[in-house]
Structure 1
Amino acid sequence: MKFAASKATTRNAAVAGLATVALLGATGCSAVNMQATTLQYAPSDGIVANVGDAQLRNIALITTDPEAEARYIGTLASASGEPLEVSITVDGTQTRFSVPGEDSLKLEDPANEQIIPSAGRPGTLVDATVEVDGVSETVGITILDGTLEEYRPFVPGGAEPSVDDHLYVTPAAEEGGH
């Protein structure tokens, strides 16, 4: 009798153990890994950074060539609600921005257009020193070109119309080729 009770107890323990393993297998990833929905990230091509009281949102440089002029896009805002003077230095060229206290400064607006002599190769990051009220930080700013239609209006001197010719259907693709 004692042997039978021990056998039933062992069986119940094995079933409980298998159920626990199955439950952990189904939900274990979220128990030990960070949830992706809790990660904060820049949902666009530009960068997001906070330097002092300045909030830099979707900041990028638009150019066609490493030696060509580049234009800033994105938004600068004041976290404190007070007006700010923000300077961004890229490759020795300092650009100053006056950020209103109660509003943001949208760099895509023609009145806020800022162009620098050169930034670097599109598709890379350039180190930029951002300074606000004595606080200085180096951030990597994205360099983009006019390949994507939404950036073409901001290319200094205009975007080359053929920049995206390679993105369209070719005859081989129409015939079922790869």
Structure 2
Amino acid sequence: MNFAPKNRVQQSVAAGAVLVMLGVSGCSFTSEQSTTTQYAASDGIVKDLGPVLLRNLLIVGSEDESAGRLVGTVFNTSDQPVDLSIRAGGAETSITIEGDGEFRFEEETADDTTLEGLEDVPGSLVDVDFEVDGEQATFQVPVLDGTLAEYRDFVPGGFTPRPSEPAATEEAAEGE
């Protein structure tokens, strides 16, 4: 018995259909599916350090100040309280997170959430040292300013918008 196609045209059509299907699906065939990649879908970092989970952690500051306000939430996954130390560029703060608790920086007092002496400007990434229960790690944390409305209340010293270029142009035109 012979099961081969009866003519070369059928073989060519079948081979062409396979090549077209590979060409159309080639990108997804060889690359990783993007929905399987875990990433921080936020402005801040998402990291874990021992029993502490750092979620959407970032620093809000301004170019004319030397302080940055921490924003985000940290969770303690252990049933015992833990102390979390945070250091960046000579600035330092420490907080205690209750067992199975959370600490929201934007809801707490300025003493716990402000890093005094921080010299990095908005738009940069700052190396921030975290320590909990003797375990240490350094993560790069973004520094933002009050350009985004949701962070304006957290700018140390208050948010002052930059003059827009059209307004500056109008003022220059009025002065002539």
Cα drift, residue 66 of structure 1: 6.5
Aligned residue number for residue 172 of structure 2:
none
* Structure 1 pair 19–152 and aligned structure 2 pair: CA distance change class (3 A): same
Aligned residue number for residue 123 of structure 2:
123
One-letter identity of the residue aligned with 2:32: M
Q: Distance in 1 between matches of 2:23 and 2:71?
A: 46
* Correspondence 1:18-97 to 2 at 5 A: 18-65=16-63, 67-97=65-95
Q: What whole-Å deviation, never above 9, does each CA across 1:35-93 have from its counterpart, x for those lacking one?
A: 11111111111111111111101111111126521110000002334322111110122
Q: What whole-Å deviation, never above 9, does each CA across 1:3-56 have from its counterpart, x for those lacking one?
A: xxx994432222121111111122222221111111111111111111111110
Cα drift, residue 94 of structure 1: 2.3
TM-score (ref. length: structure 1): 0.81
> Among the aligned pairs, what percent are the same residue?
35
Q: Distance in 2 between matches of 1:35 and 1:167?
A: 42
* Structure 1 pair 81–18 and aligned structure 2 pair: CA distance change class (3 A): farther
Q: Does 1:159 align with 2:156?
A: no
Aligned residue number for residue 174 of structure 2:
none
TM-score (ref. length: structure 2): 0.82
Q: What whole-Å deviation, never above 9, does each CA across 1:110-159 have from its counterpart, x for those lacking one?
A: 34741112240100100011111121111001101011111000011111
Aligned residue number for residue 105 of structure 2:
107
SS at match of 1:108: helix
Gaps of at least 5 residues in structure 1 are 1-5, 172-178
Q: Distance in 1 between matches of 2:79 and 2:6?
A: 70
Q: Distance in 1 between matches of 2:18 and 2:125?
A: 48
1:129·1:137 contact (CA, 8 Å) conserved in 2?
A: yes
Gaps of at least 5 residues in structure 2 are 170-176
Greater Cα offset, 103-112 or 46-55: 103-112
Q: Distance in 1 between matches of 2:95 and 2:42?
A: 22
Greater Cα offset, 136-145 or 104-113: 104-113
Q: Tell me how many residue pairs correspond in the alignment.
A: 165
* Structure 1 pair 30–121 and aligned structure 2 pair: CA distance change class (3 A): same
2:76·2:97 contact (CA, 8 Å) conserved in 1?
A: yes
1:61·1:143 contact (CA, 8 Å) conserved in 2?
A: yes
Instruction: Tell me how large the CA RMSD over aligned residues is.
Output: 2.6
Q: Name segments (4+ residues, structure 1) moved above 4 Å.
A: 167-171
